[in-house]
Structure 1
Amino acid sequence: MNERPALDRELDSKTFRDFYYLKEELVDFCRKNGLPASGGKIEITDRIAYFLDTGKIQSPSSSRKRAAEITDIQEDTEIEPDFVCSERHRAFFKEQIGNRFTFNVAFQKWLKNNAGKTYKEAVAAYEQILEDKKKGKTKIEKQFEYNTYIRDFFADNQGRSLEEAIKCWNYKKQMQGHNRYERADLAAIWGAGS
């Protein structure tokens, strides 16, 4: 099977995982089948795969615990477990880093994985993340397959347009298997005059 199947209850989880579906399609499937539709794309995908395998509904992960209240954040304050970005945190980081501060994905991940470290260490980590980004050392997370594909397309095809990259992406995501860029994906634009 090479053509992407419709996302329905008859699909087995292996076939489901072999094809690319938009988050909106996953959420729609969840709503139609009584599954919780909250969470990130990876979490929803796992929930649907479990449902397709077992017919059972899996509850959303309980990782959304209430964050500990921090009344006054100082440099030596420890990062709390189950960190949640808040206006209080944003105000602290803007005061330390300046108005250029944003809760980017890499920094949020660092904060969630480094409970017990100090906010002073968090400020240093933020600066390092920005430095790595400037040097092109950042890794695009799995849930951002489109971004990874487009970046890899341009790395291999300088001078090509975004329209061509998107054409190749749309071609690739309809195929069974992984969604990483391959030179063979250029077949999607060869017919249009390369």
Structure 2
Amino acid sequence: MSTRPTLSVKLTAAEFKNYYYLKEELVSFCRECGLQATGSKNELTERIAHYLETGEKLIRTKPAKSKNSPSVLTMDTLIEENIVCSEQHRAFFKQAIGKSFSFNVQFQNWLKSNAGKTYQDAVIAYAQILEAKKKTTTTIDRQFEYNTYIRAFFADNKGLKLEDAIRCWRYKKGLPGHNAYEKSDLEILKS
């Protein structure tokens, strides 16, 4: 088994992208090298790869936040452009929907793409999103490689335990290349 190299400026961009690193490792590397350390795991990965390849420090510009955030939210309030899912919004939705409310990715995307509709429309959309989630398997975004691996592992190995899946994941992420589950990963369980 090859050992995953420590994330450092000695790596090439290709070597870096060939291994799995935790977001915390990416943030730490960015801070050490004076790179912007905010953003998604995918953004950090691309920023580091660019830096390792060119030596250039990319700066991510944030989209303009909504300046027209209403001071009071009601069911008739219109959803603002560039909505930011704030604590004010969370409190409103918890009151309207219930304590179980949480900002899931699908709902956040719905809010961002439906400026001008009412918060009543948002409450209805939230219920529809939850209902749809019960009927379909949700897509796991690319940055959640661990979750994707674990789901694929159990789809292929119904009788095994989470400890087995985690052991295979730890083995897999230490190897160069992709981190997708493969049947051959089960070899580590035999040792």
TM-score, normalised by the number of residues in structure 2: 0.88
| 1:140/1:148 contact within 8 Å kept | yes
Any idea what SS the aligned residue of 2:103 has? coil
Q: Which residue of 1 aligns with 2:18?
A: 18
Q: Which residue of 2 aligns with 1:124?
A: 124
Give percent identity, aligned residues only: 55
Opposite residue 94 of structure 1, the aligned amino acid is: K
Opposite residue 104 of structure 1, the aligned amino acid is: N
Q: How many residues align?
A: 191
Opposite residue 33 of structure 2, the aligned amino acid is: N
Deviation, structure 1 residue 63: 2.4
Q: Which residue of 1 aligns with 2:109?
A: 109
Q: Which residue of 2 aligns with 1:30?
A: 30
1:1-194 to structure 2, matched below 5 A, reads 3-63=3-63, 65-191=65-191
Rounded to whole Å, the distance in 2 between the matches of 1:165 and 1:64 is 41
Any idea what SS the aligned residue of 1:9 has? coil
Any idea what SS the aligned residue of 2:53 has? helix
CA deviations on 1:23-81 (whole Å, 9 max, x unpaired) are 11101111110111112211111211121122111113322635532123233433222
Any idea what SS the aligned residue of 1:28 has? helix
| 2:149/2:169 contact within 8 Å kept | yes
Structure 1 unpaired stretches of 5+: none
Structure 1 window deviating more from structure 2 (72-81 vs 15-24): it is 72-81
Rounded to whole Å, the distance in 2 between the matches of 1:16 and 1:116 is 43
| 1:67/1:83 contact within 8 Å kept | no
Rounded to whole Å, the distance in 2 between the matches of 1:162 and 1:177 is 23
In 2 relative to 1, CA 182–107 (structure 1 residues): closer, same or farther, beyond 3 Å? same
| 2:26/2:44 contact within 8 Å kept | yes
Deviation, structure 1 residue 171: 1.0
What is the RMSD of the two structures over their aligned residues, measured on CA atoms?
2.1
Any idea what SS the aligned residue of 1:39 has? coil
Any idea what SS the aligned residue of 1:143 has? coil
Rounded to whole Å, the distance in 2 between the matches of 1:166 and 1:24 is 19
Opposite residue 179 of structure 1, the aligned amino acid is: N
Rounded to whole Å, the distance in 2 between the matches of 1:68 and 1:54 is 40
In 2 relative to 1, CA 67–146 (structure 1 residues): closer, same or farther, beyond 3 Å? farther
Any idea what SS the aligned residue of 2:163 has? helix
TM-score, normalised by the number of residues in structure 1: 0.87
Rounded to whole Å, the distance in 2 between the matches of 1:12 and 1:109 is 35
Rounded to whole Å, the distance in 2 between the matches of 1:167 and 1:180 is 14
Structure 2 unpaired stretches of 5+: none
